[in-house]
Structure 1
Amino acid sequence: MSDVRVRRAERGDAPALLAMLVALSRMHGREPTIGLEAFERDGWDEPARFQAWIAEAADGAPVGFVQGFPKYASWTGGDWFFVANLWVEPDCRTGGVGTALMAAVEAHARATGRTRIELTVARDNPAVGFYRRLGLTDRGDYRMALDLAPL
């Protein structure tokens, strides 16, 4: 898909981004609980909790997105960018959309003084090969979490 355009997502893109986020979540066997109002608030109210880019086909149809946020590494004192979600519509995969989205993230990271891009991916996810081709390396870390129930 050589005629893809990637741009910083705007509030008006939120419904399309949320629809792709739902598809991504369901692909991983999860049901998202965030609604459109909260998604818009988190992405576009100040302070924004994430940044996002959208990929569009020549006709303007959304074909992918990437979403992430800045992080701070206290052990190095450096700022880096964490990619939380990357989605490309199934019929557009292997056409350069994911590469274009990750290039937008890299450009943003470099322009904002970030020293690294990091993400988490399941070991059995076919996207592991894609990330390796982009130069990301396996750090061998575990991803651990503790879900907090309301008190």
Structure 2
Amino acid sequence: MQASSLIVRKAVAGDAETIFRFTAGLIEDHLPGQPPWVSVEDIKINGFGSDPLFEALIAERDDQPIGFVSFFRGYAGWRGKPMGIVHALYVLPEERRSGAARTLMAGVARIALERGWIRIELFVEEGRPALSFYERIGMRDLHHRHLRLEGEALSNLARI
């Protein structure tokens, strides 16, 4: 595939259905059979409402969406600087290894530099093939454990 026919653009509210479809594909890649927890309406409100929680870029080839990346601003507390956190990156299976994922991440990198973000971070499950892709584009594996507090454990801790 020709990388030149690939374009990346900022997602708009009208892309909520596409983002939902790609999110469902990402969930299916990680947890086959698991229905999405998010809805198109959630995406519209959370990404394009009055207080957006994330931004997204859409990759298109021949005017057809083939992938997306979602990200948000975070804070690098030890450095006292803003940073970007990539939440999701997904490219349709038939478009993988076409340069789309690299181009999407390059778009986030440009935004980071424009906004003065010190770095971009993301989380990858151990053993996922995506880890080698991220290392190839220059990301460094910090070997940190990603921990989560939710559900009953979250409620129990909050009661202390």
TM tier, smaller: over 0.9
Q: Any unmatched runs of 5+ in structure 2?
A: 156-160
Corresponding residue pairs, total: 150
Query: Partner residue of 2:20?
Result: 18
Once the 2 structures are TM-superposed, how far is the Cα of residue 92 of structure 1 from its aligned partner?
A: 0.6
* Deviation string, structure 1 residues 58-102 (Cα, Å, up to 9, x no partner): 2x1110000010001221101100001000111111110001000
Query: Partner residue of 1:121?
Result: 124
Query: Partner residue of 2:55?
Result: 51
SS in 1 for 2:20: helix
Query: Partner residue of 1:33?
Result: 37
SS in 2 for 1:122: coil
SS in 2 for 1:41: helix
Distance 1:31 1:81 in 2: 28
Distance 1:38 1:95 in 2: 30
Once the 2 structures are TM-superposed, how far is the Cα of residue 31 of structure 1 from its aligned partner?
A: 3.2
Query: Do structure 1's residue 132 and structure 2's residue 155 form an aligned pair?
Result: no
Look up the equivalent residue of 1:86 and give its one-letter code: L
Once the 2 structures are TM-superposed, how far is the Cα of residue 148 of structure 1 from its aligned partner?
A: 2.8
Distance 1:111 1:47 in 2: 21
Poorly superposed stretches of 4+, deviation over 4 Å: none
Q: Any unmatched runs of 5+ in structure 1?
A: none
Distance 1:55 1:104 in 2: 10
Query: Partner residue of 1:6?
Result: 8
Write 1 or 2 for the structure with the bigger share of helix: 2
RMSD over aligned Cα atoms: 1.3
Scaled by the length of structure 2, the TM-score of the pair is: 0.90
Pick the structure with greater CA Rg: 2
SS in 2 for 1:68: strand
Query: Partner residue of 1:109?
Result: 112
